[in-house]
């Protein structure tokens, strides 16, 4: 499934990269600390990574993270 961050919504709280550092990190070119996606496609058969992606989606206070079969590009 595609994983992305909507930068128009992201406020740089950092919950995604604290929850799933293997999937997200602060974007090095952004002064706000908004998230960069490290793995833009998450395979559902990788149950541990998929669960972490779903947890990051649920932890985002701005609802900026999308996980789906066709999500908009960053």
Residue 70 has pLDDT above 70, yes or no: no
Distances (CA, A) of 49 to 41, 56, 70: 11, 11, 18
- What's the pLDDT score for residue 69? 82
- What's the pLDDT score for residue 73? 53
- What's the pLDDT score for residue 20? 97
The domain made up of 2-67 has a fold known as Alpha-Beta Plaits (3.30.70)
pLDDT in tens, 13-64: 999 999 999 999 999 999 999 999 999 999 999 999 999 999 999 999 999 9
> 9-13: long-range contacts at Cβ-Cβ below 8 A with a sequence spacing of 24 or more?
9/62, 9/63, 9/64, 10/34, 10/35, 10/60, 10/62, 10/64, 11/61, 11/62, 11/64, 13/60, 13/61, 13/62
pTM of this prediction? 0.86
């Amino acid at each position: 499934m595609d994983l992305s961050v909507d930068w128009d919504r992201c406020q740089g709280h950092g919950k995604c990269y604290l929850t799933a550092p293997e999937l997200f990190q602060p974007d090095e070119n952004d002064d706000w600390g908004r998230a960069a996606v490290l793995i833009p496609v998450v395979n559902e058969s990788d149950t541990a990574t998929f669960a972490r992606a779903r947890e990051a989606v649920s932890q985002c206070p701005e609802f900026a993270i999308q996980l789906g079969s066709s999500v908009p590009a960053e």
